[in-house]
Each structure stands twice: as structure tokens, then as C-alpha cells.
Amino acid sequence: MPGLGAITGRDASAREVREGVEAAHEFVYVRGILALLDDVVRICTEQALPLIEADGGELYVASASEEEVHLHLAGTCSGCPGSTYTEKYLLAPIIKTASPKARLRLTTGYLVPKHAKRLGQTSTKT
């Protein structure tokens, strides 16, 4: 499934990701959850994404709430044994920075969750 960047031909902004996640859920977001989502997108884009993309991986935000942040790794990270290291030492501390109460839910695989939005680069290398 293509990410938002593949559809629009440019990188997804925090606002676009937030709007996509909002549309995917039926519950009403409160201001704190929107701030959490903005923080998660910003911190992941700044700190984790360059490292993940350097290995050929892709990072998606599938959902976010006060209790749980669901991220998905695809690309070369799909099924990679190193994804547990990425989760424990890279992504979990980042999520704790954004929201100390939130639990990280990380999935990997070539099948991206239906409403997940890709963060970062969209250009294909030829």
C-alpha cells in the first residue's frame, strides 16, 4: 500500500499525518492527543527516520492515543531481527519522550496497516 508521500509526490507533513490518523478513527480526539501525535511525528521524523531510512526501511504512523502509539516498519525492516533492537533502543525511548504514559506498539511487515501514513522520503532510487 503506498504511503501518503507516494500519492502526493512529496513528504507527509505532521498536519497531513494527523489528518489521516484522525480520519481513521471514530472517536473524538482531544487537544492533548493531537499534541501527542504532533510530538510523535516530529520526534520520529527528526530522530528515528534518518536511521531507519539509512537501512532502507520505512516508518509509518498507524495510530496514536494517550495509552498507545502504533508504529509500523516496512521496507528492508520487514521481518528483520534487528527490528526488536530498533523498538527497544530507538523507538520506545522516543515515544516515552513524547508521552511517558503511552505504550509503543510496533509491527513490521510488507503489508502496511490500512490507515497508516508514511513518514519521510518518498522518492524512489533508480
Q: Is the pLDDT of residue 126 over 50?
A: no
Q: What residue spans of the chain are helical by DSSP H? A: 4-8, 14-24, 31-43, 49-54, 83-86, 92-98
Range of the domain at 51: 4-119
Q: Is residue 30 part of a domain?
A: yes
Query: Are 71 and 90 contacting, i.e. CB atoms less than 8 angstroms apart?
Result: no
Over residues 6-56, the pLDDT tens digits come to 555 566 677 777 776 666 554 444 566 667 778 888 888 999 999 999 999
DSSP category for residue 77: T
| pTM for this prediction | 0.70
Check residue 32 and give its pLDDT. Answer: 63
Check residue 8 and give its pLDDT. Answer: 52
Q: Is residue 124 part of a domain?
A: no
* 80 Cβ contact partners less than 8 Å away, ≥ 6 residues apart: 57, 73, 108
Mean pLDDT of the chain: 80
Give the number of domains in the chain: 1
Q: Is residue 81 part of a domain?
A: yes
Over residues 81-91, the pLDDT tens digits come to 999 999 999 99
Cell of 81: 531481527
Q: What type of residue is 97? A: T
The partner residues of 105 in beta bridges, in order of sequence, read: 70
Residue 123 pLDDT grade (very low, low, confident, very high; cuts 50, 70, 90):
very low
Q: Is residue 37 part of a domain?
A: yes
Q: Is residue 79 part of a domain?
A: yes
Cell of 69: 502509539
98: domain CATH number is 3.30.300.130
Cell of 21: 490518523
